[in-house]
Amino acid sequence: MAFIIGFLLLSFIVHFIALIPFINILYHAKLQRQNQKTTDAFDVPTPIFDSFHGKKSGTPLGGGMLVIAVTTLLFFISFPILYYFWIPIHSVYNNVGSEIKVLLFTFVSFGAIGLYDDVRKVFFAGNQKFYGLRLRHKLILQIFLSLIAAYYLYSELHIHIINVPFIGVWDVGILYILFASFVILSFANAFNISDGLDGLSCGILMIALTAFWVISHSILDTPLSVFISIWLGGVIAFLYFNIFPARIFLGDVGALSFGATFAVIGLLLGKPFSLLVVGGLYVLEILTSLLQLLSKKYRGKKLFEVAPFHLLWQKKGWNESTIVFRAWIFSVLLATLGLWFAFMK
C-alpha cells in the first residue's frame, strides 16, 4: 500500500511541475478555446452556454494530452520499480499483460479521437461546415474503439458476467461485448458533456477514482491499483489549475479518454452497477442532454429549460463554483453508496 500511495504522490508532483510550462506551450501553439459556432456533443448550437462562458475564450485547452502522456509514462516506469523492490504483482485475471493492454488502449485511443476533434475545432473552424468532427463520424470512431476494448475484455480477460446487487450474477456470454461497448461509449460522451464548468468533470472523477482505488486494493489487483493511483495523482494536479477560474481545460482529448477509461476500470473491477452509481452524475448529465434532444426532435419542444443538468442550474442563476462544489458533495455520497454496493455479498 505504501508504494501505491507513493506512486500517487510522485504522479502529482510530476504532473504539477509539467503543467506549468505546458500551459505556456499551449498558449504559444494557440491551442485555445474558441467560442465561434460552439456546439454540444450532439452537434446542437449552444448559445446559452456561450452566453455564460464567452469570457473563457482564449483559455488553453488540451490539458488531457499531458495527463495521458505523463500517466502512461509513469505507469510503464512503475513496474520496474515494483520488480526492483520485489513487490509481487497480482491480477484477478492472471493476465497482467492483457489487463494493461486494454487500459492503455482505451486511455490513448480515445484521447487520439479527442485530439483530432480539438485540432479541427481550433485551427480549421473557418474552413468547415461543422465545428470539429461531425457527430456521426465521432460516434463511428468511438463505437469502433469501444468494440475493440470490449472484445479484449471478453476474449483475453474472459469477462462475460454482469453482477447486479440483490439480484445475482448474469452470464451473458458473447453479448457482453455489446454491453461493455455501450457502457464505454456512454461514459466517454457523458464525461465530455459534463466538462462544461471549471473543475466539474475532473472533480467528480477525482472522487469516483478514489472509490475505485479502494475497490482495486481490496481485490489485490496491482495493475489497476497502480494505474488508478498514478492517474488520480495527475487528475488532482490538473484540477489545481482547472478550478474556477480555470487556467487550462482538458479538451476533448482528455474528456473522451477519461470517460472511456473510467468505464473500462469499472468493468475490470467487475462492478458495472457500482460504476453507474459512482459515476451517477455523469449518467445524469448525458441523460438530460439525450432526453432534451429527443424531446425537441420528436415532440417539437424542450423537455427542460436548458440541458445538460449543470447548465440548467446556471441558467437559474446559481454561481458556477456553487454548482461545482455541490456536485462534488453529491459525488462523495454517490461514491460512498457505490462502495457499499460493491462490497455487498
Contacts of 128 (CB under 8 A, 6+ apart): 120
HSE-up (13 A, CA, CB side) for residue 316: 13
Q: How many Å apart are CA 133 and CA 188, to the nearest integer? A: 15
Helix, strand or coil for residue 29? helix
Task: State yes or no: 189 annotated in a binding site.
Answer: no
User: How many angstroms from the chain centroid is the CA of residue 260?
Assistant: 6
The sign one gets for the Cα dihedral 26, 31, 36, 42 is negative
C-alpha cell at 286: 448525458
- Where b means 16+ CB within 10 Å and e means fewer, 19-42 reads beebbeebeeeebbbbeebbebbe
Q: How many Å apart are CA 224 and CA 187, to the nearest integer? A: 19
Task: State yes or no: 252 annotated in a binding site.
Answer: yes
Annotated binding site: 192, 252
Annotated binding site for Mg(2+): 192, 252
